[in-house]
Homo-oligomer: A and B are copies of this chain.
């Protein structure tokens, strides 16, 4: 049956097919003007961009529009229905990033990436217009390099905004902080700076707000990470002592505590006990 994932067919389109509900699997093709009307962008020069055909795809309730990690080839515009966009952690925890409905874009965060950083499934029977990223960038490329740059930048901004969810997700405060540090480290590296040692440009209060915790909690979390030997901290100077350990730790969920982490915590407890005895 057509049950499985999605075999979705031929990009074959014929300009002209009607939008009826003929067959669920065969994508119907509509004119671009349909899409533009949906997006309320049909003002201005209507006949200009003309009748570029845009396939319509139907998705059943519970079915995935695209999977996390799948190659990103298209973006989608919701014509009818609702979707949830989410990311799945290693331990299976599903973090919902957004609910999207009519006239919203889907999958745009993948424009700047190879693969989709998130998945989308329909919450009810739905239909979307499908636009190939290649086409989008081509059209732009011919007209304006700036426009293409903007698309890419916007896409990455969207991706980064999605990372906010990882930070504020329902996990322990130390985990949030470690995720923050790992991200920051990557970014420093991308800018040609040291990924191991850097200067925080923001206050504890700013970090706290970003992570969704109290600023005292950020302080405490820094202390804990330091105690566990993952980082060294002095005010805004941070050194990542154990990058791998930190990454492993940052993957923890509230319930599931990583093995390496647990042992590190026990070791530090030992240290504490010894220190206490010395006194």
State whether the Cβ of A153 lies closer than 8 Å to any Cβ in chain B: yes
Annotate A148-191 by CB proximity to B: 1 below 8 A, 0 otherwise. 11111111111011101100111000000000000000010001
Does the CB pair A44–B158 fall under 8 Å?
no
A-B contacts besides A42-B145, A103-B153, A158-B158, 7 pairs, CB < 8 Å? A82-B202, A98-B161, A101-B191, A139-B146, A140-B147, A154-B158, A161-B164
Once the chains are docked, how many angstroms separate the CA of A14 from the CA of B223? 46
State whether the Cβ of A113 lies closer than 8 Å to any Cβ in chain B: no
Does the CB pair A143–B142 fall under 8 Å?
yes
State whether the Cβ of A219 lies closer than 8 Å to any Cβ in chain B: no
Annotate A42-81 by CB proximity to B: 1 below 8 A, 0 otherwise. 1011001100100000000000000000000001010000
State whether the Cβ of A35 lies closer than 8 Å to any Cβ in chain B: yes
Once the chains are docked, how many angstroms separate the CA of A212 from the CA of B152? 29
Does the CB pair A145–B212 fall under 8 Å?
no
Which residue from B84, B148, B205, B210 sits with its C-beta under 8 Å from A206? Answer: B84
Can you list 29 pairs linking A and B with CB atoms under 8 Å apart?
Answer: A32-B145, A36-B145, A36-B146, A41-B152, A44-B145, A48-B145, A77-B153, A94-B205, A96-B202, A96-B209, A96-B210, A98-B161, A99-B210, A103-B153, A104-B160, A105-B154, A108-B150, A108-B153, A108-B154, A123-B201, A131-B150, A139-B144, A139-B147, A140-B147, A147-B151, A154-B154, A154-B155, A170-B209, A170-B214
